[in-house]
Structure 1
Amino acid sequence: METLLTISGAGVNPYSARGLTQTLDHIQAAAAMRRTINGKLKDLSQPQFRKYTSTVTSRDQVAPPLDGVWPGDVVSVGCAAELSYLTAGGTPQRPVVAGSSRVDGAFTFYRPQLLMKVVSYTTQEDEYGRVVSWSLVLEED
């Protein structure tokens, strides 16, 4: 069984990603909002901080091949998670994984291809149950 997720270099091996989940969130620096003295909310964020953080987790039989992958390493991630935009007048805000774009009603859905840095990687093995849990935290470069 394969997954939609791709990670440059390391890849995602069989039996490591069944039941995989991926989050796409904004990095903390993307939100810089303050209230004026009159109570109006103002967005003070800078466009260059509009980046994503992602957490990939899974419970399967083996760990993914991330030996030698360290915090700060750059990887290209073909996301399993989708983003979407209004088809009429809209465009994708990130590069699109080839073949992942689809239209549903008034919206176009796609899986983004993101250049990301590894923040952390953890793995836990249940020897008796033969289950490996792992988590990979990434931030867009």
Structure 2
Amino acid sequence: MDSFFFLLQALASYIAIAAFLVVLNVQKQMLIPGGLLGMLVWLIYLSLEGPTNAVIATFTAAIVGSCISQIMSIVLKTPSVIFSLAILAPLVPGYRAYMTTTYFVSGEHATALVNVTTVITLSLVIPIGMASGTVLLRLYKYMKLRYST
């Protein structure tokens, strides 16, 4: 992956996530941090998809994004749901779901079934990863509190 492609992906993902947050009527001062978080999650996914696969890349990006969103919500004193939406937007397998429908309509049922299982797996991995990130952060806080005294 060359640096121009990576930079272009970063810019496009930031604009897309910020626009998504505007559509959801998020406060103006949360558009930049939310867009940056969504961009980071997309770049993590993009970086990991090549060496691994889409499921592992999605799971890892969801965990990292969830941890960062919890921290950002504390630092910026805002509900974490805003940042959860910024994580969710780049990870939803919309294109794969669209292609699955296209394969079913065009009669390529074997390819469609493979895509259906991938879409369902990704749809399950996203909330599991986001919940895992929250649990990991809480576990870290608990361990830090317990072993610091």
TM-score (norm 2): 0.27
Q: Which structure has the highest helix share of the two? A: 2
Structure with the larger strand share: 1
Query: What TM-score, normalized to structure 1?
Result: 0.28
